[in-house]
Structure 1
Amino acid sequence: MTETQPHRRMNLLTGEYVLVSPQRMARPWQGERKNDGIHNRPAHEPDCYLCPGNERSGGTANPDYGDTYVFPNDFPALLDESSERAGDQLFVEEPARGEARVICYSPDHSATLARMTGEGRRAVVDTWCDLSDDLGSRWANVQIFENKGAMMGASSPHPHGQVWASDFLPTIVQRENERQRNYYENCGDTLLGEVARRELGDGKRLIAHNEHWIAIVPHWAAWPFETLLVARGDFRRLEDIREEGRSALADILGTLLPAYDRLFDTDFPYSMGWHGAPHGLGADCAHWRLHAHFYPPLLRSADIRKHMVGFELLGETQRDLTPEAAAERIRAELR
């Protein structure tokens, strides 16, 4: 049934369903490949507000940094200020506090995580871990993420990510927390630990793995080439990762992300983000397994993207390309 007939799959982390319609892939098409000159960007762009030494839009000048560089977001979505909201039983409102920072991955304007050296990627991994540890000491949740490419709304092509720390658990994190806790209490094991074991044994959705990490197209993937990166060890938060695990993470990113770029010979856009145990849970997080989501929008070419419209907005998420077929195509681009 799952290879040729429409069916639904449950997202184990949220409880939501995805409609899979593989019969729609029978129509012929050849995915366009596009070399968009991504390797021709300069190492330093005078007008880029994230390059070393340049002035940002908020008026602050960047230092002449030579590695990763973190600074407070000049236009943060969250503020470290108390507020009172006058909601009622129908129109509910509540205060929201936090802080936001920007993470410049490299001083090189032309770089991406896919094209950085292993040493450069390792520096980014260390920065992620340090930020999770630092901000987690003060906030209930730390969301580290990257929007890569103009298609995903990135305001600058300079390699960078963001971190938003908040005094509340965002909706999706709360859902993941509840689903993982329920599984742990009922089965005595972590949900994503079991997923990783099953995917390693099955192999149909497996992309790459090493001693500490596994990259898969999840069984419930919504986006065409969505991937899930799961810790194989008992890592619950980024700061739990020790030396070998951090190097292994830099390595598997160096396997997955260049394969993405080779799919359509383009600088592959995506939104990615880390989900670890919310710091507001304290030590009550045995049910969590650290993982990262990668959500690329591209469908058939460097220019044709998947749009979540119509049935997706009004009913539930739908996809044509099966997760198994997507994994096979990504694996074909591994080097």
Structure 2
Amino acid sequence: MSQFEFTHRRKNPLTGNWVLVSPHRNNRPWLGATEKSTPSNLSEYDKTCPLCPGNQRANDVHNPTYDKTFVFTNDFGALTSQTEVHLAQLETNPLFEIEQATGECRVICFSPKHNKTLPELPVNEIKDVVDTWKQHYIELSGKYACVHIFENKGAVMGCSQPHPHGQVWAHNHLSTEIQLEETSQREYQQHNGSSLLGDYVDHEIANGERVVYQNDHWLVVVPFWAAWPFETLLVSKDDVRHFGQLTDDQSNALAEAIKVLTTRYDNVFNCSFPYSMGWHCAPSDLENDSHWRMHAHFYPPLLRSATVKKHMVGYEMLAESQRDLSPETAAKILQNASDTHYTEGNKHD
């Protein structure tokens, strides 16, 4: 049993936020809502899917018959490159602060196969996804300070299309999460003379209790401050601050880490494990980004089964994050999960 099986709070050093940990609550009876699990009988091609090769999207444009990753400008992007109003005409009261927000939004289809999520792709095809992330990061970071690469997997996370895909949003303002991490990492380096996440990686590897997977270049860990039940942090073990610095070896190792992590996720409850994940990279307009370390956050909502999710409501919305499953227990479950996807059975044994 972990030494942390008592009620306590933990601080997230990247944001300054606190998490209330209540391990004893995980045994309480559950009579709340359940979710539908993601269907596992999808076909490789769906003629009604706007993301499948050759199909028509909402704007009457037809997708090419792509055979690898496919990227297009989001037909319903949250950001546009045009300013529609003059800010000088708007309210100037400091209680009603406003600023211009322009940018670009793109969609990345991971594969032409409608029914293959990341853990079901071979490592070389996940490497294609990593290379696509890198390509578009490099392009967009030349125009925008902040580039967010993310994926919402599963209907329970608000994903509107089952075809496996992610998104890229780029803009010049620093998003709230990036600004918090920028401030925290910079202050840590000023006070300690080293990288916050670099030191964190060293401590987690030395401790080992929360480590889910590692290879030569990447570490997957249930972070000490995790708020979501099976939250993980995928962080570079090397001094890499953004996608533009990745070598081919580091990209290959990243594809391997993603394959292992997402496979273990699916194997926890033998389902297509939903999550929201996203990459945090150094803003491209910094004169010095040595305090940064490239990393991705995975936030899965499932708590007890394929149909019972964690709801961030009540206390979480009005006070601070709270979790029932300790990060150490979650890490143990992920450590023990198989690296062979549950849909493959024992064919590799």
> Please, what TM-score do these two structures have when normalized by structure 2?
0.92
**Counterpart-to-counterpart distance in 1, 2:291 and 2:267:** 36
User: Which residue is 2:42 aligned to?
Assistant: 41
> What CA RMSD, in Å, does the superposition of the two structures yield over aligned residues?
1.6
User: Which residue is 1:148 aligned to?
Assistant: 153
Within a 5 Å distance, the mapping from 1:86-97 to structure 2 comes to 86-88=90-92, 89-97=94-102
**Counterpart-to-counterpart distance in 1, 2:281 and 2:194:** 16
Over 6 Å off, 4+ runs:
none
Out of 288, 292, 307, the residue aligned to residue 288 of structure 1 is 292
CA-CA distance at 1:284 after TM superposition: 1.4
Look up the equivalent residue of 2:305 and give its one-letter code. S
**Counterpart-to-counterpart distance in 2, 1:24 and 1:37:** 27
**Counterpart-to-counterpart distance in 1, 2:5 and 2:110:** 42
User: Which residue is 2:218 aligned to?
Assistant: 213
For the residue of structure 1 that corresponds to 2:120, the secondary structure is coil
Deviations 1:62-110 (A, max 9, x none): 0011100100000110011134331322111111010100001100001
Out of 166, 170, 173, the residue aligned to residue 165 of structure 1 is 170
| Contact 1:256/1:334, CA 8 A, preserved across alignment | no
Within a 5 Å distance, the mapping from 1:10-89 to structure 2 comes to 10-27=11-28, 38-82=39-83, 83-85=85-87, 86-88=90-92, 89=94
CA-CA distance at 1:38 after TM superposition: 4.6
User: Which residue is 1:301 aligned to?
Assistant: 305
Query: Is the counterpart of residue 329 in structure 1 residue 330 in structure 2?
Result: no
CA-CA distance at 1:59 after TM superposition: 1.5
Out of 118, 121, 128, the residue aligned to residue 133 of structure 2 is 128
| Contact 1:196/1:232, CA 8 A, preserved across alignment | yes
CA-CA distance at 1:36 after TM superposition: 5.8
User: Which residue is 1:200 aligned to?
Assistant: 205
For the residue of structure 2 that corresponds to 1:123, the secondary structure is helix
For the residue of structure 2 that corresponds to 1:280, the secondary structure is coil
For the residue of structure 2 that corresponds to 1:110, the secondary structure is coil
For the residue of structure 1 that corresponds to 2:212, the secondary structure is strand
Look up the equivalent residue of 1:169 and give its one-letter code. L
User: Which residue is 2:269 aligned to?
Assistant: 264
**Counterpart-to-counterpart distance in 2, 1:311 and 1:228:** 24
Query: Is the counterpart of residue 229 in structure 1 residue 229 in structure 2?
Result: no
| Contact 1:84/1:94, CA 8 A, preserved across alignment | no
CA-CA distance at 1:280 after TM superposition: 2.1
| Contact 1:35/1:265, CA 8 A, preserved across alignment | no
For the residue of structure 1 that corresponds to 2:71, the secondary structure is strand
**Counterpart-to-counterpart distance in 2, 1:4 and 1:206:** 18
| Contact 1:264/1:302, CA 8 A, preserved across alignment | yes
Unaligned runs of 5+ in 1: none
| Contact 2:38/2:154, CA 8 A, preserved across alignment | no
For the residue of structure 2 that corresponds to 1:40, the secondary structure is coil
Deviations 1:236-255 (A, max 9, x none): 00111101000000001111
**Counterpart-to-counterpart distance in 1, 2:91 and 2:313:** 31
Unaligned runs of 5+ in 2: 340-349
**Counterpart-to-counterpart distance in 2, 1:8 and 1:84:** 45
Out of 171, 177, 198, the residue aligned to residue 182 of structure 2 is 177
| Contact 2:149/2:168, CA 8 A, preserved across alignment | yes
User: Which residue is 1:137 aligned to?
Assistant: 142
For the residue of structure 2 that corresponds to 1:326, the secondary structure is helix
**Counterpart-to-counterpart distance in 2, 1:214 and 1:44:** 35
For the residue of structure 1 that corresponds to 2:285, the secondary structure is helix
**Counterpart-to-counterpart distance in 1, 2:312 and 2:39:** 27
> Please, what TM-score do these two structures have when normalized by structure 1?
0.95
Look up the equivalent residue of 1:48 and give its one-letter code. C
Within a 5 Å distance, the mapping from 1:248-263 to structure 2 comes to 248-263=253-268
**Counterpart-to-counterpart distance in 1, 2:86 and 2:278:** 30
| Contact 1:139/1:165, CA 8 A, preserved across alignment | yes
| 1:297/1:36 CA distance change after superposition, 3 Å | closer
User: Which residue is 2:345 aligned to?
Assistant: none
For the residue of structure 2 that corresponds to 1:138, the secondary structure is coil
Look up the equivalent residue of 2:75 and give its one-letter code. D
**Counterpart-to-counterpart distance in 2, 1:224 and 1:123:** 30
**Counterpart-to-counterpart distance in 1, 2:229 and 2:214:** 21
CA-CA distance at 1:2 after TM superposition: 5.3
| Contact 1:230/1:292, CA 8 A, preserved across alignment | yes
For the residue of structure 1 that corresponds to 2:135, the secondary structure is helix
| Contact 2:11/2:18, CA 8 A, preserved across alignment | yes
Look up the equivalent residue of 2:295 and give its one-letter code. H
Q: How many aligned residue pairs are there? A: 330
